[in-house]
Structure 1
Amino acid sequence: MSWRDGRSRPVVRKVYFTEQEWGKACALWRAGGGHRTFSAHARELLMWGSVRRVVIPADTDRLAHEVARIGVNVNQVAHRVNARGHREPGDVQEMESLLREAVGILSRICKDAQDRIDGSGWQS
């Protein structure tokens, strides 16, 4: 069995660096963010000639607060159901409403991120 089996990118090319060049290449890769591997970073540079860094700051404090609030509400519904031993029709609607709220928050975050990417001039 070859290392190429099942790989989406079976073509390998070697690039040689001096120690100084390698240090600079790694520093540029780390500073660029966005690429998990050096291979992905190098591939984009070779194929497209540049790497654009798009920073999408998430309001993590606000997000954590909103998710915690929704989680508290979900726990309250669950405790109410457990205390009664059965669920009422309104319990399901309340849970669906809470889930829609959570999905709405995440959708707004995703839309904001997409708008930032679209505004950066980056294209896939």
Structure 2
Amino acid sequence: MSWTEGRRRPICKKVMFAPEEWERAERLRQALMKESLRAAIAYRRWGEYARERLLYPVVEMPRVVLASDPEVFKSELHQIGTNVNQMARVANMSGAVTPAQLDELRRQLDRITELMEGMERAKEEMEARGGERA
């Protein structure tokens, strides 16, 4: 009689780890076990943990950290928005827009474009680094 007969899981696979790989795998299992009682019970044996991670992988979202402080972008955009709103109010009240006001509006819109391009560059740099701070 074979050891596989009558077993619910008759397929056995052996996995080899380098010492540092094993330490990392065990740290991940221990961290998960600390998170919840269910995990602590379910993953007492390493095979249960490995089977579940292989069959039901967890998609972990990388932590996103912008290269620059988002509050700086928010503050500058708020300031520009306030300026544009004030110019629009004056234009609506007077019924006319001076060339100087149009030039200022263009400068404010150019600044918005610069900020948006800076945010895009920061996002691309962050994605290239895998979402981690430089």
TM-score (norm 1): 0.52
Letter in 2 for 1:55: V
Q: Quote the Cα distance in structure 2 between the aligned partners of 1:54 and 1:113.
A: 13
Could you list the runs of 4 or more consecutive aligned residues of structure 1 that deviate by over 3 angstroms after TM superposition?
none
RMSD, aligned α-carbons: 2.6
* Partners of 1:70 and 1:98 within 8 A in 2: yes
Q: Could you report, residue by residue, the CA deviation over 1:19-72 in whole angstroms, capped at 9, with x for unpaired residues? A: x738x836x21xx21xxxxxxxxxxxxxxxxxxx46333623222211110011
1:1-124 equivalence runs, <5 A:
21=52, 25=56, 28-29=58-59, 32-33=60-61, 53=62, 55-57=64-66, 59-120=69-130
Work out which structure has the larger RCO, using CA pairs closer than 8 Å and 6 or more positions apart in sequence: 2
TM-score (norm 2): 0.48
Report percent identity of matched pairs: 21
1:10 aligns to what?
none
Aligned length: 78
Q: Which runs of 5+ in 2 are unaligned?
A: 1-41, 43-51
Letter in 1 for 2:95: G
Q: Quote the Cα distance in structure 1 between the aligned partners of 2:114 and 2:56.
A: 40
Query: SS at 1:55's partner residue?
Result: coil
Q: Quote the Cα distance in structure 2 between the aligned partners of 1:72 and 1:114.
A: 29
Q: Quote the Cα distance in structure 2 between the aligned partners of 1:87 and 1:55.
A: 43
Q: Larger Rg: 1 or 2? A: 2
* Pair 1:109–1:98, CA change in 2 (3 A): same
Query: SS at 1:87's partner residue?
Result: coil
Q: Quote the Cα distance in structure 1 between the aligned partners of 2:63 and 2:124.
A: 10
